[in-house]
Structure 1
Amino acid sequence: MYFVSDNNAGVHPDVLAAVVAANDGHARSYGADPVTARAEELFRDHFGAHAETVFAVTGTAANVIALAAVLRSYDTALCAESAHVYTDECNAPERFTGARLTVVPTADGRLTPAQVAAFAASAHPPHAPRPRAVSISQPTELGTVYTAAELRAVADAAHEHGLLLHVDGARLANAAAALGTGLAEAAAGADVVSFGGTKNGALAADAVVFLDPALAGARRMLQKQAMQLLSKARFVAAQFVALLSGELWRTNAETANATASRLAGVLAGLPGVELLHPVRTNAVFASLPRPALAALDGYGGVWEPGGTMVRFMTAFDTTDADVDAFATVLHAALNR
């Protein structure tokens, strides 16, 4: 199942080794251990001295904690209609916060400053929810990436209208690798970031990074309410120590991005294949001829049931050989 999802990949050996190393004797529970302290320090190294972090074991939980920090039950947050918080989290953000998600169509998954301004202008409290936050994905669910200028423009528009900015960074490492920046720059202007480790070679490790100190005070209570305050927190934290203490996060993301680019090149050279979005990270969206769809079993998943649009995902452990083997299968399917 090479190209169904980066969730299908295993765990990077260095991350597993860090978990094993953390399994040495007893340590204080609920994050009061030195491994968790080291992970929190590394997040400050990457995101700034004021960054405060709590950990979670799923991206949905991280998004729920982040949004709960910025929303009240009478609020609403703007997001793209393709956003993961809207399409793939079973209403968890709305159930947990009591707030509403307001969605707008986008051409490529990216919100614009004009959409943010229009959202802010739609306020009619107390008869309608109060616009309070903007939630973007970096990269988006369509694999597109906000450039530094685009991200800053969205952040500035949000803050100009008194809105807070949440960045769903489940694949923020891939965006940073694509942009050639650090993690903080790939989420510049955010007030709170959901940072994904799981899709970057971890086992079950995501984080919520609070960049606005005013939001961070309740982080531990929100973590507890979201059932993410783990008694043996060191085993989640250890995975971030492995990813963030060096360049492993970047190496993993660059490998995934590069093999996605290679896959896009293969697809672009096939008759009847259309790439639907620019390939910047580890997601490739394409429309395939129906004969090729039969060749996807074991390699990729049809994103649009009954249609011809397919999403392919690469991961930290995808190899050029994997891509080339798939190319052979596709060529054979299209030349029958």
Structure 2
Amino acid sequence: MHDADVRGFASDNYSGVHPEILAAVAAANGGHQPSYGGDIYTDRLREVFRHHFGPDARVYPVLTGTGANVIALQAACDRWASVVCADSAHIHVDECGAPEKVAGIKLLTVPAAGGKLTVDAIRREARGFDDEHRAQPQVVSLAQSTELGTVYTPAEIREITGFAHEHNMLVHLDGARLANAAAHLDLPLRAFTTDAGVDILSFGGTKNGMLLGEAVVILNPALDRGVDYLRKASMQLASKMRFISAQFLALLEGDLWLRNATHANAMATLLCEQIRDLPGLSVNYPVQANALLVTLPEPASAALHERFHFYDWAGPSPQARWMTTFDTTPDDIRRLVKAVETALTA
């Protein structure tokens, strides 16, 4: 039985909705607005995304992160295409095969140390061009930040996009936690997306304080063809879209997106600082966003599962993944640290 008064560390999806987001939903609730994106909130949102990602950016709000990834990959791929991604990528591990089942796209996975792709890793599958027997590698998909909580630098992304474009491939970025990456890098969003050569991305809201809602963001104008039809066909077109757009406006018109992500990252850093020297425990990757992956003895892990929600993560050896979020408090961290100390010495 988990303690009812203790916040979990399983996912940033476990958090509630930020009060400013709830207020924005309530404010958007008055009167009637045209449906399916014809409302004033979605119209304003288009300008907000251009502000963050550049004048050519086009935004398509959707319902879920998986939906955003599926639509973005469909927009970037021919029917015979394949996508090169990390073996730990969310599109491969955690989307129930949706990119392959729904979009009909073959995923070509490669090993990625720390969750991050490199040109050498991509090169393993960026081959067989014009071979009719092989699903054609047309897209490289990155995650920023990665499933392991690591962050690509702009230079690392530029190296990958340069290689991809030289081979007539496009680059998709799964940005479910893009705000956390921006907070870590202390850079504007376009600095490691548009300016680094990314063609299309999925932008996350739910993990950063929203009730629901994600977005497909097209950065390469050549891909802005038929995305509205793909969104509908993928069952991701919200009829009352104003309530998704109003949330994004509350997040992005000011600095709420950055405040939330900065706090979540800071709580992960605080947790790391307080546990990294404990005997019997190891932190497995640099803590650059809001995730820690740790190895600890199985009895200790089992004892912690009795009190806290967290996930066991696949890897060379069993790991626990602890996530922090915008509403994680220092008291939450202290409770977890105390429980870890107790479990390791039991």
Partner of 2:97: 91
> Who is 1:131 aligned against?
137
The reply on whether 1:319 has 2:325 as its aligned counterpart is no
| Kept in 2: contact 1:72–1:97 (CA 8 A) | no
The equivalent position to 2:148 in structure 1, one of 131, 139, 142, is 142
* Residue of structure 1 in register with 2:262 after alignment: 254
Kept in 2, the 8 Å contact 1:71–1:97? The answer is: no
Query: Secondary structure, in 3 states, of the residue corresponding to 1:204?
Result: coil
Pairing 1:1-336 to 2, within 5 Å after superposition: 1-187=7-193, 188-293=196-301, 294-304=303-313, 308-336=318-346
> For residue 29 of structure 1, what is the amino acid of its counterpart?
S
8 Å contact from structure 1 (residues 138, 186) kept in 2: no
1:329: how far off?
1.6
Q: Partner amino acid for 2:111?
A: P
Name the CA distance, whole Å, in 2 between partners of 1:157 and 1:139. 20
2-side partners of 1:170 and 1:235: how far apart? 19
1:301 corresponds to which letter in structure 2?
F
The separation in 2 between residues aligned to 1:83 and 1:305, in whole angstroms, is: 12
The whole-number CA distance in structure 1 between the counterparts of 2:192 and 2:207 is 17
Q: How many residues were matched structurally?
A: 336
Match of 1:77, SS?
strand
TM-score under structure 2 length normalisation: 0.94
State the one-letter code of the partner of 1:244.
L
Check 1:105–1:117 CA distance in 2 against 1; reply closer, same or farther (3 A cut). closer
Deviations 1:170-190 (A, max 9, x none): 000001111111112232311
Contact 2:111 2:121 in 1 (8 A): no
Secondary structure of residue in 1 paired with 2:164: helix
Structure 1 residue ranges without an equivalent (≥5): none
State the percentage of identical aligned residues. Answer: 48
Gaps of 5+ in 2: 1-6
CA distance in 2, matches of 1:80, 1:335: 36
Find the aligned partners of 1:219 and 1:74 in 2 and give their Cα distance. Answer: 18
User: Aligned equivalents of 1:23 and 1:297: distance in 2?
Assistant: 41
Q: What code does the residue aligned with 2:165 have?
A: H
